[in-house]
A and B are shown apart, each in its own frame.
Chain A
Amino acid sequence: MRFLAFVFALALAEPAFAAEATALPWWIWPAMLFAASFAIGIVGVLAGVGGGVLFVPIVGGFFPFHLDFVRAAGLLLALCGALSAGPRLLRSGLASLRLAMPLALAGSITSIAGALIGLALPTHIAQTALGATILAIAVLMLRAGRSEFPQVLAPDRVGAAFGLGGVFHDPASRRDFEWRTHRTVPGIFVFAGIGLLAGMFGLGAGWANVPALNLLMGVPLKLAVGTSGLILSVVDTSAAWVYIHHGAVLPVLVAPSIAGVMLGAKVGARLLRIAPARTVRKTVIALLFLAGVRALLKGLGIWN
C-alpha cells in the first residue's frame, strides 16, 4: 500500500519534476529509478508477475524519460531477470526446453515485428495503446484462474509431433506428474500474439505466458511459471536487438533499473513466505489500473 501511495504521489508531482528535470542534478533520476525499480522488483515477485509489466507503465507514466527509452529498459530488465532465473529453473526441472523452443520461436519472430511497430508509432498512439493493454492485463489478472495440474486426456497431433510432454517432479509434494499439451496450434498463435505485445510495449510477458501455458495448453502450473521465464528470455532478446540498433538503450536508465529490480526480486523472494499473497496481488492490480489509466490519459493528452 505504501508503494501505491508512493506511485500516486509521483504521479501528481511528475509534471513539476519534468519541468525541473534539467535543473536537478543528473543523479537524482537514476537514484529515484533505482528506488522505484527496487520496489517493483519486490512486489513483482510477491505477485508473480515479474518486473517488466509494472516497470513500463509506471516509469513511462511517472518519470520524464521518453517511452522509447522506457520500453527498451523494460525489455532489458525483464530479459536480465529471466536470464538470471533460467539456469536454476532448468536444473531443478521447473522449466522445459522442449516446451519452450517451439513457442519461443513463434514469439521471437513476432516480437521483432512488435518492436518495429512500437518504434514507428507516434508517441501518443503508443502511449494510448500501452494504457489500454495495461488495463486489459489488470482485468486478465483479476479474472484469470489457474489450475495446479490441468487434466489433458489426449495430446493433439502437433503436440505429439513435438513430443510436448514428460514427467514433472513437484518438489513440494515430492510426486511425479505426467504431463502433455493440448491445443498446441492455438497456443503457438497465442504466443505469437504475446511476442508482438512484448516487443511493441517492452513488457515482460509472464502475465500472459503463464495462463496460456497453464489454462490453454494444459501445462502444470509450476512448470508453466518456470518455462514462461525461459520463453521470455528468447522473445525479449529478439525485440531488445531492435531497440539496441535504434539507439534506444540509455545506460543511465537501464543499469539502475536492472540493479533495482534484481535486488528487489531477491528481497521479494525472501518475503514470499510471510507476505500476504492476496493483498499483494490486489495491490499490483490496483497499481496496474492506476498506471494504465495514467498511460491512457497521457496518450489522449488529458493528463500530461
Chain B
Amino acid sequence: MIEPKDPLAAAESAYARWLDWGTRIGLILLIASFSAYAFEIVAPHVPLQELSRSWTLPVDEYRVAVGAPAGWGWLELAARGDYLNYFGIVFLALVTALCYLRVLPLLFAGRERIYAVLAMLEIVVLAVAIVGLAGGAH
C-alpha cells in the first residue's frame, strides 16, 4: 500500500532551507576570509612563510611551537588573517545544529514524538561537541 505524504515533510523542507542558506553563508565567509589571509590583506598570527616549518608536527606540538590556541581561544586572535578563517569554518560546523534547532518545534507540532526526542538528543551531542566538553585540548 502506498502511504500518503510523510508527516516529516514540513521538517524536511525547513531543514533543507536552513541547510541551503547556512552552507552558502559559511562558504562565502570562508572564501572571503581565506582571500584576505592568502593575499596578506590581514596579517596572520603565524607568518605564511614560517608555517611550512611547523605543519609537519603533531597538532599538540604545533600549538606549542607557534603559540596557537585550543578550544574557543581562537576568538582572541580572530583579527589575525589565519584565525579569521575560523569564522567560516566554525559557521559551517554549526549549520547542522542550527537545522536541528529549527526542526525541533516542527517535530513537536507534528506529534512526531520519537523524532523530537531524537532531535533533542542530537542537539545535546552537538552542543557537547561545540562547547568543547567532548575532550577539546586546553
A binding-site residues for B, Cβ under 8 Å? 18, 21-22, 24-27, 29-30, 64-66, 68-69, 76, 79-80, 83-84, 86-87, 90-91, 96-98, 101-102, 104-105, 108-109, 112, 116, 119, 123, 161-163, 165-167, 176, 178, 233-234, 237-238, 240-242, 244-255, 258-259
Interface of A is mostly: helix
B binding-site residues for A, Cβ under 8 Å? 1-3, 6, 8, 11-13, 15-17, 19-20, 22-23, 26-27, 30-31, 33-34, 37-38, 48-49, 51-53, 55-60, 62-63, 68-72, 74, 82, 85-86, 89-90, 92-93, 95-97, 103, 114-115, 118-119, 121-122, 125-126, 128-130, 132, 134-137
Interface of B is mostly: helix
6 contacts between A and B (CB under 8 A): A83-B23, A83-B96, A87-B20, A166-B3, A241-B126, A252-B82
Q: How far is the CA of A254 from the CA of B118 in the complex (A)?
A: 31
Q: How far is the CA of A162 from the CA of B115 in the complex (A)?
A: 8
* A116 near B135: Cβ-Cβ < 8 Å: yes
Q: How far is the CA of A21 from the CA of B53 in the complex (A)?
A: 8
* B17 near A87: Cβ-Cβ < 8 Å: yes
* A167 near B3: Cβ-Cβ < 8 Å: yes
Q: Which residues of A contact B119 (CB under 8 A)?
A: 101
Q: How far is the CA of A59 from the CA of B107 in the complex (A)?
A: 41
- In angstroms, how far is the closest chain A Cβ from the Cβ of B83? 8
* B93 near A242: Cβ-Cβ < 8 Å: no
Q: How far is the CA of A96 from the CA of B86 in the complex (A)?
A: 31
Question: Which 3 residue pairs spanning A and B have beta carbons closest together?
Answer: A245-B136, A251-B85, A241-B129
